[in-house]
Amino acid sequence: LIHLLSTEGLPRDILLHILDTAQQFVSVNDREVKKVPLLRGKSVFNLFFENSTRTRTTFEIAATRLSADVFNLDIARSSTAKGETLLDTIANLSAMAADIFVVRHSESGAPYLIAQHVAPHVHVINAGDGRHAHPTQGLLDMYTIRHYKGDFRNLSVAIVGDVLHSRVARSDIHALTTLGCPDVRVVGPRTLVPSDLAQLGVRVCHSLQEGIRDCDVVIALRLQNERMSGALLPSSQEFHQSFGLTPQRLRWAKPDAIVMHPGPVNRGVEIDSSVVDGAQSVVLPQVTFGIAVRMAVMGIIAGNEA
Ligand code: CP
């Protein structure tokens, strides 16, 4: 593995290797992550051209725990604002001896463009590109599901909300199907969950009751207002009325179903506060597992080099 750009096409053995490696970075109480010298002397550049709280911070923590030097480019104050192109920015940062670029960009494909132009020893990790992919979120979601549910082969997983514009949904779907999950459902209104998503090997449901009935895992997604035109955008109230996850509706899932959300959460829209903060929610453990998963990804792609 040289770059991590998508979970699509990642073989099952590599997915499992990443999850197993992440497990080694999680201690017995599931919270503390050990510091190791795997990336000592390496430089990790965090390039977030789009806002982030969880991904950016956990990449920084993960790189620090691998003993790398971490640099966070402040894009708003960078020469990007003066019109410097993406590839010129990358060329100049490469001249500062970068080893790993962690890239988030609103344009789908931006990390691929960068990966085509960096030197062979430089690695690119996609931290979310447009509506296309968010592979480390997909991986931490798989880690979380495996942690709470064990095997993927008997699970029903429902992904509820704005699937059309969600890079998380796509990364989750590719990983879940590769890992052998037999029942993946995408659930929401027709404008946000079009029927052609069935091409991804999932069941399309336009009723929340049908979509989450007896499932083991419910993944709620935010309305990606920033990626929608007005015609598609349902009002928050409309969405909540039909697809908002409330304590009453969660009873349609299995009693021991876990509730996940990649964040940021819009409380009272796609999910009620009492569900986010409730006994079935694993939203915050997802964030914690993200550190170990990102350590694993960076360690695997760059950890065995001189
Ligand atoms: N899940 C996620 O990508 O969150 P951030 O946008 O805060 O990084």
For residue range 220-273, what is the model confidence (pLDDT) as tens digits?
Answer: 999 887 777 766 677 889 999 999 999 999 999 999 999 999 999 999 999 999
* Residue whose CA is at the smallest distance from ligand 1 atom 6: 52
Report yes or no on 113 lying in a domain: yes
Question: Which pLDDT score is estimated for 226?
Answer: 79
Distance 169 CA to ligand 1 centre (A): 13
* Whether residue 204 sits in one domain with residue 79: no
* Whether residue 245 sits in one domain with residue 128: no
Domains held by the chain: number: 2
* Whether residue 296 sits in one domain with residue 276: no
Query: According to the annotation, is 57 in a ligand binding site?
Result: no
* Whether residue 240 sits in one domain with residue 112: no
Q: Rounded to the nearest 5°, which phi and psi values hold at 187? A: -130, 125
Distance from the Cα of residue 263 to its chain's centroid: 9
* Whether residue 156 sits in one domain with residue 277: yes
Indicate which atom in ligand 1 lies nearest the CA of residue 57: 8
57 lines ligand 1 (CB under 6 A): no
Report yes or no on 1 lying in a domain: no
Q: CATH number of the domain that 234 lies in?
A: 3.40.50.1370
* Residue whose CA is at the smallest distance from ligand 1 atom 4: 54
Whether the CB-CB separation of 64 and 42 falls below 8 Å is answered with: no
Question: Which pLDDT score is estimated for 28?
Answer: 54
Report yes or no on 148 lying in a domain: yes
Owner of token pair 């590769």 = 178
Domain that holds residue 59: 12-133+287-302
Query: According to the annotation, is 65 in a ligand binding site?
Result: no
* Residue whose CA is at the smallest distance from ligand 1 atom 3: 55
* Whether residue 217 sits in one domain with residue 196: yes
* Whether residue 156 sits in one domain with residue 80: no
Indicate which atom in ligand 1 lies nearest the CA of residue 55: 8
Report yes or no on 4 lying in a domain: no
* Whether residue 145 sits in one domain with residue 263: yes
Give the residue ranges of the chain where pLDDT is below 70. 27-33, 230-232, 306
Question: Which pLDDT score is estimated for 232?
Answer: 65
* Whether residue 165 sits in one domain with residue 70: no
* Whether residue 277 sits in one domain with residue 229: yes
Query: Left (φ > 0), alpha (ψ -120 to 50) or beta: where does 190 sit?
Result: alpha
Question: Which pLDDT score is estimated for 161?
Answer: 96
Query: According to the annotation, is 34 in a ligand binding site?
Result: no
Q: Give the Cα separation of 304 and 166 in Å (integer).
A: 33
- Pocket mutation for ligand 1, best pick of 47, 49, 51, 52 (most atoms within 8 Å of C-beta): 52
262 lines ligand 1 (CB under 6 A): yes
Question: Which pLDDT score is estimated for 101?
Answer: 98
Q: Of 219, 231, 224, 212, nearest to 162 (Cα)?
A: 224
265 lines ligand 1 (CB under 6 A): no
203 lines ligand 1 (CB under 6 A): no
Question: Which pLDDT score is estimated for 288?
Answer: 94
Report yes or no on 98 lying in a domain: yes
Question: Which pLDDT score is estimated for 228?
Answer: 76
Question: Which pLDDT score is estimated for 30?
Answer: 59
Q: What is the ipTM, given to two decimal places?
A: 0.99
Report yes or no on 5 lying in a domain: no
Report yes or no on 103 lying in a domain: yes
Report yes or no on 2 lying in a domain: no
Sequence-separated (6 or more) residues with CB below 8 Å from residue 280? 250, 256, 257, 258, 259
* Whether residue 111 sits in one domain with residue 70: yes
Q: Nearest 5°: CA angle at 242, between 258 and 141?
A: 25
268 by Cβ neighbours in 10 Å (0-12 / 13-18 / 19+) ranks as middle
